[in-house]
Structure 1
Amino acid sequence: MEVLIKKLANLLSVKSLVTLALTVTFCVLTVQNAIPDNFMNIYTMVITFYFVKQLNAEDKNGN
Protein backbone atom coordinates (compact mmCIF):
# COMPACT_ATOMS: atom_id res chain seq x y z
CA MET A 1 0.00 0.00 0.00
CA GLU A 2 2.87 2.36 0.79
CA VAL A 3 4.36 1.76 -2.64
CA LEU A 4 1.07 2.71 -4.31
CA ILE A 5 0.82 5.93 -2.29
CA LYS A 6 4.42 6.82 -3.10
CA LYS A 7 3.86 6.22 -6.83
CA LEU A 8 0.70 8.36 -6.78
CA ALA A 9 2.60 11.15 -5.00
CA ASN A 10 5.35 10.99 -7.64
CA LEU A 11 2.72 11.16 -10.37
CA LEU A 12 1.49 14.45 -8.96
CA SER A 13 4.88 16.15 -9.24
CA VAL A 14 5.15 19.15 -11.54
CA LYS A 15 7.44 17.27 -13.90
CA SER A 16 4.91 14.47 -14.34
CA LEU A 17 1.96 16.83 -14.73
CA VAL A 18 3.76 18.79 -17.46
CA THR A 19 4.68 15.57 -19.24
CA LEU A 20 1.11 14.28 -19.06
CA ALA A 21 -0.32 17.60 -20.27
CA LEU A 22 2.09 17.69 -23.21
CA THR A 23 1.27 14.08 -24.08
CA VAL A 24 -2.48 14.76 -24.08
CA THR A 25 -1.90 17.87 -26.22
CA PHE A 26 0.26 15.84 -28.59
CA CYS A 27 -2.47 13.21 -28.95
CA VAL A 28 -5.13 15.85 -29.65
CA LEU A 29 -2.95 17.60 -32.23
CA THR A 30 -2.13 14.28 -33.88
CA VAL A 31 -5.83 13.45 -34.27
CA GLN A 32 -6.42 16.91 -35.74
CA ASN A 33 -3.34 16.51 -37.96
CA ALA A 34 -2.08 19.94 -36.85
CA ILE A 35 1.25 19.46 -35.07
CA PRO A 36 3.44 22.60 -35.30
CA ASP A 37 7.19 22.03 -35.72
CA ASN A 38 7.99 24.01 -32.58
CA PHE A 39 5.67 21.87 -30.48
CA MET A 40 7.23 18.68 -31.81
CA ASN A 41 10.72 19.90 -30.82
CA ILE A 42 9.61 20.91 -27.33
CA TYR A 43 7.66 17.70 -26.79
CA THR A 44 10.62 15.57 -27.86
CA MET A 45 12.97 17.41 -25.48
CA VAL A 46 10.61 17.11 -22.51
CA ILE A 47 9.90 13.42 -23.06
CA THR A 48 13.60 12.66 -23.56
CA PHE A 49 14.52 14.56 -20.39
CA TYR A 50 11.80 12.81 -18.38
CA PHE A 51 12.80 9.28 -19.37
CA VAL A 52 16.55 9.87 -19.13
CA LYS A 53 16.14 11.31 -15.65
CA GLN A 54 13.90 8.40 -14.66
CA LEU A 55 16.44 5.90 -16.04
CA ASN A 56 19.27 7.59 -14.13
CA ALA A 57 17.24 7.51 -10.91
CA GLU A 58 16.57 3.79 -11.35
CA ASP A 59 20.29 3.14 -11.97
CA LYS A 60 21.22 4.98 -8.75
CA ASN A 61 18.62 3.03 -6.77
CA GLY A 62 19.75 -0.27 -8.27
CA ASN A 63 23.44 0.19 -7.44
Structure 2
Amino acid sequence: MKIKERIAKLIDVKSIITLTFTYVFAYMVITGKDIPDYFATTYASILIFYFGSQFKKSEGNDNEKRN
Protein backbone atom coordinates (compact mmCIF):
# COMPACT_ATOMS: atom_id res chain seq x y z
CA MET A 1 0.00 0.00 0.00
CA LYS A 2 1.37 3.39 -0.94
CA ILE A 3 1.88 6.19 1.53
CA LYS A 4 -0.68 8.41 -0.22
CA GLU A 5 -3.32 5.69 0.13
CA ARG A 6 -2.58 5.30 3.84
CA ILE A 7 -2.83 9.05 4.41
CA ALA A 8 -6.11 9.15 2.48
CA LYS A 9 -7.52 6.41 4.74
CA LEU A 10 -6.53 8.38 7.85
CA ILE A 11 -8.59 11.34 6.73
CA ASP A 12 -11.97 9.69 7.17
CA VAL A 13 -14.20 10.85 10.02
CA LYS A 14 -13.85 7.86 12.33
CA SER A 15 -10.06 8.06 12.17
CA ILE A 16 -10.06 11.78 12.95
CA ILE A 17 -12.37 11.26 15.93
CA THR A 18 -10.31 8.32 17.21
CA LEU A 19 -7.03 10.22 16.90
CA THR A 20 -8.48 13.31 18.58
CA PHE A 21 -9.76 11.32 21.54
CA THR A 22 -6.42 9.52 21.77
CA TYR A 23 -4.50 12.80 21.87
CA VAL A 24 -6.80 14.24 24.53
CA PHE A 25 -6.60 11.06 26.61
CA ALA A 26 -2.79 11.00 26.35
CA TYR A 27 -2.61 14.68 27.31
CA MET A 28 -4.77 14.10 30.37
CA VAL A 29 -2.66 11.11 31.47
CA ILE A 30 0.67 12.88 30.91
CA THR A 31 -0.39 16.05 32.75
CA GLY A 32 -1.93 14.09 35.61
CA LYS A 33 -5.45 15.45 35.19
CA ASP A 34 -8.43 13.46 36.38
CA ILE A 35 -10.16 11.57 33.60
CA PRO A 36 -13.95 11.80 33.93
CA ASP A 37 -15.84 8.50 33.82
CA TYR A 38 -17.95 9.61 30.85
CA PHE A 39 -14.82 10.44 28.85
CA ALA A 40 -13.19 7.08 29.61
CA THR A 41 -16.39 5.23 28.67
CA THR A 42 -16.79 7.19 25.44
CA TYR A 43 -13.13 6.71 24.54
CA ALA A 44 -13.34 2.96 25.14
CA SER A 45 -16.45 2.74 22.95
CA ILE A 46 -14.75 4.65 20.15
CA LEU A 47 -11.66 2.41 20.31
CA ILE A 48 -13.77 -0.75 20.25
CA PHE A 49 -15.75 0.52 17.26
CA TYR A 50 -12.64 1.67 15.38
CA PHE A 51 -10.57 -1.47 15.88
CA GLY A 52 -13.61 -3.71 15.42
CA SER A 53 -14.33 -2.17 12.04
CA GLN A 54 -10.64 -2.42 11.08
CA PHE A 55 -10.63 -6.11 12.04
CA LYS A 56 -13.79 -6.72 10.04
CA LYS A 57 -12.22 -5.08 6.98
CA SER A 58 -9.05 -7.13 7.25
CA GLU A 59 -11.03 -10.32 7.82
CA GLY A 60 -13.04 -9.57 4.68
CA ASN A 61 -9.84 -9.06 2.69
CA ASP A 62 -8.49 -12.40 3.93
CA ASN A 63 -11.65 -14.18 2.80
CA GLU A 64 -11.40 -12.59 -0.66
CA LYS A 65 -7.78 -13.73 -1.02
CA ARG A 66 -8.69 -17.32 -0.11
CA ASN A 67 -11.47 -17.58 -2.69
TM-score when normalising by structure 2: 0.85
Residue in 2 that maps onto 1:10: 9
Runs of at least 5 residues in structure 2 that lack an aligned partner in the other structure: none
Question: Does residue 29 of structure 2 align to residue 30 of structure 1?
Answer: yes
Q: Secondary structure at the match of 2:58?
A: helix
Q: How many residues align?
A: 62
Aligned-partner Cα distance in 1 for 2:5–2:36:
36
Runs of at least 5 residues in structure 1 that lack an aligned partner in the other structure: none
Q: Secondary structure at the match of 2:35?
A: coil
Residue in 2 that maps onto 1:52: 52
TM-score when normalising by structure 1: 0.90
Q: CA deviation at 1:5?
A: 1.1
2:42 maps to a residue whose letter is: I
Question: Which structure has the bigger radius of gyration?
Answer: 2
| Cα deviation digits, residues 6-39 of structure 1 (max 9, x gap) | 1110011111010000000001111233100000
Aligned-partner Cα distance in 1 for 2:6–2:31:
32
